[in-house]
Structures are given as C-alpha cells and as structure tokens.
Amino acid sequence: MRVLITGGGGFVGARLARTMLAKGTLAGRRIEQVVLADQVAPPADLAADRRVESRVGKLLGQCQALRDEAFDGVFHLASAVSGECESDFDLGLASNLDSTRALLDALRYRATQGAAPTRVVFSSSIAVFGPDPAYPFPPLVGDDTLPTPQTSYGTQKLICEHLVSDYTRKGFIDGRAARLVTVTVRPGRPNGAASSFFSGIIREPLAGEEAVLPVSPDVAHPVASPQTMVDGLIAVYEASREAFVGRSAITLPGLNVTVQQMLDALEKVAGPKVRARVRFERDERIAGIVANWPRGVTTARATALGLKAETTFEDIIRKYIADCAATPAALRGMS
C-alpha cells in the first residue's frame, strides 16, 4: 500500500513514518511506499529508506498533482501552529483551511473517477474547545463537549473536522479526525506554538540551559508523549468504521497535569539543580491563549479503542531521556 503523510518532515510526522516503516504494515497491509510531503526535507534516516519518497514544498501547491495519484491512506498532519495563526490570520487560513480543502478535493476527484475512498486521518487539536459565555466550560472536556474555539487555530481545526466529516458522509473519503493533546517533550528548538513552553521547561533544563515559564504554575493541561500520540493516530487509522463510531472527531488520551506537577517531576527525575534552571516570566499573549484551552480531557472513545495515556509525568520525561540516549550531548546538563 501507498501512504501519504503531510507534514511528514516534521517531528510527529517523521516519528509516525518511522513507526509504520518499522512495523512494516498498516491495517494488516504491507507498506510499499510512504510519501512525505512537507516544506522541509525529512530526516536523513527516512530519506535513506528506499520505501520513502520526499516532496518538499507548500502543500497547497502540491495538491493539484495529487489528483492523479492513488494513495491507500493519508495522514494529514501539516499545519501552521497556534501562535502563528493568532499573529498571522492569512497564514493560518492558507496553511490550515485552504490546504486541507485542496487535499480533500484531490482525494474527492479520485473517488469520482471510480477509485475506492481513501482512508484519511486528520490531526485536529483540543484547541477546538474553549470557554464561551453561553456554555459553561467543564473542568474536563470530552468527545461530547461542544467545541467553541477561542483562537484562529482552534477555529480552523474545527472547520476542517467538519469538512472531513462531510466528505466522508458524501463517500468521497473514509475520514477520521483525531484531536491531539499537547505533545511533550519535543526535541529541537522552540517553535511558534503557544504550547511550546510545555516542552521547553523540560528540554532546555535537561540540556543545561535556562528555560522561561510564561504562565502560572497552577495552569493545568493534558499532555502526552510523542509515541503515545503516534500510536493513537495509527489506532484511529486501523479502527473499523463501526469501532470508530460515527464521523465526529475523537479525542486522543492525555495525562491531565499542572505545570507545577511537571516541574516537580523534573526535579524528581533530574534533581533540584536542573529544576532551578526554569524561571517564571509571564507572557500575557501566551498566557491569554493558554487560558482558553482545556485543563484536562476524558477520552471514552479512545479508551474503547484500547488507547491509554501515561500515568505520571515522570514517565514522559524518562521516555524523552530514553529517546535522546543515542545523542547524550542533548542531556549534558543533567545533574
């Protein structure tokens, strides 16, 4: 089978590709080719895999050509991130909304030519939830919580969820939307996401660098390790339509945790010297965005698919350290 991963050169996309290629199959079928479409080239190990094809460029510019290709499965991860969408409205519309519709229309064209509907997993976000004066914001959001996004990013993700659902209803695709919680700990440098600090306050101190905490330590939020999110995306793809239940989006599992609990876990795993490298410096822009995000999730539908979150944040930190074991320089600051 042939699989397309948009955003395949990014961190989650590359990890998804590695996981699938290592397994060798998807939904019981042998993977023959994985096409990674992104604005950046994939990591060297993926580029060297004979089963991988890289396509570098903006997704919106690639979608017309995709009309003439047959893909058995698509993971649509490409997206402008939350902070970018809030500061550049047009970028968010083009990268998230316009590109998604163009991709879905390319797949729709294939279906109208007699091809079987392509199975599509769209990576949405719990940013679709937010406080609205007309609807009380529950302490924990679930699959049945009314989405009322309070950011451009969340609004764009919610619109795309409905597009995926409607294209599925019409028989153009077999689509499933999965709402991701914040993925941490991400390697590399900070990005433009408002949630970037959730990784930075762990990653930088472990590497011997100072990190800035832009929100209050009592901020609560659901998080998950990169591999937990990748496993969730694959499980959503492999689920039967009956097991997925309906066409609405599913929320993937996350560990509901406060920032203070994250810092306590960092000290427990790496020691007080490492914990001391985090300093508080409030950023009103980031704090304002995060204040409109869920403080926690419940995930009944994901649980029914057999998916589970980590049980402690120490587990997530240790997974990150294990991931970095091959490059110990990344953790040179640990005491």
CA geometry: angle at 193 spanning 190 and 194, to 5°?
105
Backbone angles phi, psi at 161, to 5 degrees: -55, -45
Read off the pLDDT band of 327 (50, 70, 90): low
Backbone angles phi, psi at 221, to 5 degrees: -165, 150
Distance of CA 168 to the CA centre of its chain: 21
pLDDT digits (tens, 9 = 90+) for 180-209: 999 999 988 777 678 899 999 999 999 999
Position 213 scores a pLDDT of 96
Question: Do 131 and 240 belong to one domain?
Answer: yes
- Write the pLDDT tens digit of every residue in 290-314: 888 999 999 999 999 999 999 999 9
Q: How confident is residue 166, by pLDDT bands cut at 50, 70 and 90?
A: very high
The answer on pLDDT for 328 being more than 60 is no
Looking at the structure, tell me whether residues 241 and 291 fall in a common domain: no
Boundaries of domain holding 210:
194-220+255-296+310-331
* Count of structural domains within the chain: 2
Q: Is 153 one of the catalytic residues?
A: yes
Quote the Cα angle for 304-258-83, to 5°: 90
Asked, for residue 302, whether it belongs to a domain, the answer is: no
Q: Is the pLDDT of residue 14 over 80?
A: yes
CATH code of 315's domain: 3.90.25.10
Tell me what the pLDDT averaged over the chain comes to: 93
The one catalytic residue among 153, 167, 237, 320: 153
> Is pLDDT of 332 > 80?
no
* Residue 242 CB neighbours (<10 A): 7
Residues 119 and 160 in one domain: yes
Give the model confidence (pLDDT) of 228-286 as tens digits: 999 999 999 999 999 999 999 999 999 999 999 999 999 999 999 999 999 999 999 99
φ, ψ at 53 (rounded to 5°) = -120, 130
- Beginning with the edge strand found earlier in the chain, give each strand of the sheet holding 220-224 in spatial order: 182-183, 220-224, 255-258
Rounded to 10 deg, the angle between the 259-270 and 313-323 helix axes is: 50
Q: 86 and 233: one domain?
A: yes
Residue 74 lies in a domain: yes
**Do 241 and 153 share a structural domain?**
yes
For residues 247 and 272, membership in a common domain is answered with no
Strand 220-224 relative to strand 255-258: parallel, antiparallel, unpaired? antiparallel
Q: Among candidates 200, 292, 334, 308, which has minimal Cα distance to 254? A: 308
pTM for this predicted structure: 0.93
Cis check: omega of the bond before 236, within 30 degrees of 0: no
Q: Which of 174, 126, 153, 78 is nearest to 298 (CA)?
A: 126
The answer to the question of residue 303 being in a domain is no
Do 38 and 55 lie in one domain? The reply is yes
How buried is 153 (Cβ within 10 angstroms: 0-12 exposed, 13-18 middle, 19+ buried)? Answer: buried
Is residue 191 classed exposed, middle or buried when 0-12, 13-18 and 19+ CB atoms within 10 A define those classes?
middle
Tell me the C-alpha to C-alpha distance, in Å, between residue 46 and each of 15, 120, 199, 334, 335.
Answer: 10, 22, 24, 30, 33
Q: What confidence tier does 326 reach under pLDDT thresholds 50, 70, 90?
A: low
Both 161 and 122 in a single domain? yes
Residue 269 is predicted with a pLDDT of 97
Q: 14 and 128: one domain?
A: yes
pLDDT for 45 beyond 70: yes
Average pLDDT rounded to a whole number, residues 20-45? 96
Tens of pLDDT along 226-237?
Answer: 999 999 999 999
Each residue's pLDDT tens digit, 114-156: 999 999 999 999 999 999 999 888 999 999 999 999 999 999 9
The pLDDT of residue 184 is 93
One domain, residues 212 and 276: yes
Please report the pLDDT score of residue 335 as a whole number.
43
